[in-house]
Amino acid sequence: MSLHVLITEDEPAIADTLLYAFKEAGILTTHVLLGHDAIIAMQGTAFDFVILDVGLPDISGFDVCKQIRANSHASISSIPLLFLTARNHEIDRIVGLEIGADDYVTKPFSPREVVARVHAILRRNARGEPAAKSPAQSNVYILDESACRITYHGEYLSLTRYEYLLLKTFIQQPKRVFSRTQLMDIVWAQAENTLERTVDAHIKTLRAKLRLIDASSEGIITHRGMGYSLTA
């Protein structure tokens, strides 16, 4: 059975690229311009996924997400959801995840990446895996945010500021694949002149430090063409 994705985006150029990418992937789409239209559409159609722009003309994507998550019908309240956000609005990304989004993609973005992320989230949900896992649930990593320290297999890691922030990001959402751009926006948000290759360099040093404690563990996985994630 074909997937059906609801796209809520008021910018025609962005909507058109998404609609084309999903069509090429063989995925059925419905496109609406307003948040209220998205809520109405979901009452009459069983969608498999929702893509929401944060900055909609009538109500914010955040408000739409909150109404979806508060819906009394489980088929609506539990639907996977991805936000499209402005790259320079860090608070959008943080708040979006906190109110129930499964993922976010920052503008400008690759439409193919959006399609890939939708597939990844749906596969994860089909396996019954949670979108995020609390650091307290992990026996491998223990994150102490008050002390800005991370324990790995019972040993404290000696980390630089950005190594700590990078590993913290992975620990807070294990199994999630972060693109280089997303990691730049989260970890290097205040370092505007930093290049994306910096992410690769820090991943390399982090892996080396993790292997000093557990030589058999890959620690951080590379997903070609997509980004990085923490091993389960």
Considering the domain 4-126, what is its CATH architecture? 3-Layer(aba) Sandwich (3.40)
pLDDT score for 193: 59
pLDDT score for 192: 59
- Assign domain 135-230 one CATH number from 1.20.1300.10, 3.40.50.1110, 3.40.1010.10, 1.10.10.10: 1.10.10.10
Is the pTM above the cut of 0.85? Answer: no
Amino acid residing at 1: M
4-126 and 135-230, same CATH topology: no
- Domain ranges (residues) in the chain: 4-126, 135-230
pLDDT score for 108: 82
Q: Which residues contact 133 (CB under 8 A, 6 or more apart)?
A: 173, 174, 175
Residues in the chain where the model's pLDDT stays below 50: 1, 129-137
* Token pair listed for 229: 């994630």
For residue 223, give the DSSP letter.
Answer: E
pLDDT score for 91: 62
pLDDT score for 90: 59
Q: Which residue has the tokens 């929401």?
A: 52
Residues 229, 178 contacting (CB under 8 angstroms) = yes
Residues 69, 79 contacting (CB under 8 angstroms) = no
Q: From 29, 222, 174, select the one nearest 111 (Cα to Cα).
A: 29
pLDDT score for 1: 47
pLDDT score for 31: 97
CA distance 81 to 97: 10
